[in-house]
Amino acid sequence: MSLLVRSQRKYVGIPAQKVRLVLDLIRGMQAVEAADMLSHMPQTAANEVRKTVQSALANAEENESMAPEDMWISVIYADEGPTAKRFLPGARGRVKPILRRSSHITVVLEER
């Protein structure tokens, strides 16, 4: 049985829907290649996902003494975090709601 290493990043100020677009591109990749690919992507969410993947790699290397080259992305997902609700004044005394969504990113690496 292969050993799993997990890393989680909570309360990221990017909606989960936008983070999932980036996650779909790296799911199932080798972790080192995924981190390299994410560093060259223009999306803001790519930087947050890259930090999470690198954290999982550091956990594998430091805590479990595994080689980073042997680590693959087994499971990666983004859950919805809390939504901050704000309001802007609108015309004729109305209120325009603003929903500031956040997300939690989870990465699980496995050794192959």
Task: Enumerate residues 6+ apart whose C-beta is below 8 A from 35.
Answer: 50, 53, 54, 57
pLDDT surpassing 90 at residue 2: no
Other beta carbons within 10 Å of 5? 22
Percent of the chain with pLDDT strictly greater than 70: 98
Reduced to 3 states (helix: H, G, I; strand: E, B; else coil), residue 76 is: strand
Which residue has 């060259």 as its token pair? 40
Using pLDDT thresholds of 50, 70 and 90, give the confidence band for residue 90: very high
4-111 adopts what CATH topology?
Ribosomal Protein L22; Chain A (3.90.470)
Other beta carbons within 10 Å of 22? 23
* Mean pLDDT on 54-69: 92
Per domain, the residue ranges of the chain are 4-111
pLDDT of residue 13: 96
Greatest CA separation found in the chain?
64
pTM attached to this predicted model:
0.89
Which residue has 């050993």 as its token pair? 3
